[in-house]
């Protein structure tokens, strides 16, 4: 199996752990994501947030979402010294995030829920940081320097930003408004090929075994995860509860992604993907076959 995945984030780490400890076949991880499924026929699987999945699915209807590795209810850290104690205080403020990613959508949803439209605050782009000291242009550094009043992105940048602010840090999180749904994707062509499908099912079984360790025995993996993505093990442990290791496809996914696609379609000036098409995007058959192995 050839798997395209960002190799930088905590979310991806059950894959190398499954390959090393549980998968009997041969699998290689290459840096990339779901976009590679569309451009490179040799890629069998790809891992990304649902956001990148939806962006690709809009023009590649043969892509399928087959497994959620982890749900991550992202967090926002804000600076109390900027006068922020509740989300609506972000009106008129500078908020760091990465537009065009799941984090950009997360900020939009959190702000909308607090009654703020996109013109009510300024989005500032920046970079993440995996380990202190965080350099110029990274969000933890930018919040310390007051270049932003708050920021929201995947971990551990939020944790490092909160550490930098100390008692001035205020955290906002609401899983019912938004969670990243970091998942595995493939194509209908790969699923139709009996040999490839068998390998994918076996890989999902191995991932289930990896997630069992991540959920129930995390002390065994903090250091491995830290080494894989260049973090300190203590910070991995601190942000562990933000990561809801999954192994399923949630029942609300079709509605959740239909709503998200409306936002993405508007951002990209394209037609929305219908709810019927999004239902076809989610294929739970591989999870069922892996459970029967």
Ligand X SMILES: *[C@@H]1O[C@H](CO)[C@@H](O)[C@H](O)[C@H]1NC(C)=O
Applying CB under 6 A, which residues contact ligand X? 22-24, 113, 174, 176-177, 202, 205-206
Going by C-alpha positions, the residue among 3, 17, 19 that lies closest to residue 222 is 17
What six digits make up the tokens of 112?
């909308």
- Shortest distance (Å) from residue 130 CB to ligand X: 28
- Shortest distance (Å) from residue 203 CB to ligand X: 8
Q: Which is nearer to ligand X, 9 or 172 (CB)?
A: 172
Give the pairing of strands 94-96 and 45-48.
Answer: unpaired
Q: Which is nearer to ligand X, 24 or 31 (CB)?
A: 24
- Shortest distance (Å) from residue 23 CB to ligand X: 6
Q: Which is nearer to ligand X, 76 or 124 (CB)?
A: 76
C-alpha dist (Å) from residue 174 to 9, 72, 229? 21, 10, 26
- Shortest distance (Å) from residue 38 CB to ligand X: 28
- Shortest distance (Å) from residue 235 CB to ligand X: 24
| Gap between the Cα atoms of 228 and 209, Å rounded | 19
- Shortest distance (Å) from residue 25 CB to ligand X: 8
- Shortest distance (Å) from residue 218 CB to ligand X: 20
Are the CB atoms for 262 and 241 separated by under 8 Å?
Answer: no
Around Cβ 83, how many Cβ atoms within 10 Å?
Answer: 12
Mind giving me the DSSP string for 36-51?
HHHH-TT--EEEE-HH
Q: Which is nearer to ligand X, 99 or 115 (CB)?
A: 115
Tell me if the bond preceding 133 is cis, omega within 30° of 0. yes
| Gap between the Cα atoms of 23 and 34, Å rounded | 22
Q: Which is nearer to ligand X, 18 or 236 (CB)?
A: 18
Q: Which is nearer to ligand X, 202 or 282 (CB)?
A: 202
Q: What angle do CA 122, 128, 129 make, to 5 degrees?
A: 140
Q: Identify the bridge partners of residue 29 per DSSP, sorted by sequence position.
A: 3
Q: Which is nearer to ligand X, 71 or 226 (CB)?
A: 71
Are the CB atoms for 97 and 152 separated by under 8 Å?
Answer: yes
Around Cβ 189, how many Cβ atoms within 10 Å?
Answer: 12
Q: Which is nearer to ligand X, 42 or 176 (CB)?
A: 176
- Shortest distance (Å) from residue 106 CB to ligand X: 13
Query: Which parts of 193-269 fold into alpha helices (H)?
Result: 194-216, 222-229, 233-239, 253-268
């Amino acid at each position: 199996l050839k798997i395209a995945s960002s190799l930088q984030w905590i979310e991806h780490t059950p894959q190398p752990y499954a390959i090393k400890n549980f998968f009997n076949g041969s699998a290689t991880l290459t840096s990339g994501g779901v976009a590679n499924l569309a451009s490179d026929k040799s890629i069998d699987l790809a891992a990304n947030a649902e956001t990148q999945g939806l962006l690709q699915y809009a023009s590649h209807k043969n892509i399928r979402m087959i497994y959620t590795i982890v749900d991550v209810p992202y967090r926002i850290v804000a600076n109390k010294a900027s006068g922020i104690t509740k989300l609506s205080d972000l009106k008129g403020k500078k908020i760091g995030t990465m537009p065009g990613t799941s984090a950009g959508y997360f900020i939009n949803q959190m702000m909308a829920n607090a009654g703020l439209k996109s013109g009510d605050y300024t989005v500032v782009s920046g970079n993440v940081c995996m380990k202190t000291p965080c350099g110029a242009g990274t969000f933890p550094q930018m919040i310390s320097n007051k270049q932003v009043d708050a920021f929201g992105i995947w971990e551990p940048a939020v944790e490092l930003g909160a550490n930098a602010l100390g008692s001035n840090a205020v955290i906002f999180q609401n899983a019912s408004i938004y969670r990243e749904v970091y998942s595995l994707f493939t194509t209908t062509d790969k699923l139709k090929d009996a040999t490839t499908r068998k390998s994918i099912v076996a890989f999902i079984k191995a991932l289930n075994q990896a997630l069992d360790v991540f959920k129930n025995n995390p002390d065994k993996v903090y250091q491995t995860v830290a080494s894989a993505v260049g973090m300190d093990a203590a910070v991995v442990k601190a942000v562990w509860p933000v990561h809801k290791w999954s192994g399923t496809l949630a029942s609300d996914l079709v509605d959740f992604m239909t709503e998200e696609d409306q936002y993405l379609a508007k951002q990209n000036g394209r037609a929305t993907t219908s709810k019927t098409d999004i239902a076809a995007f989610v294929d739970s058959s591989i999870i069922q076959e892996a459970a029967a192995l």
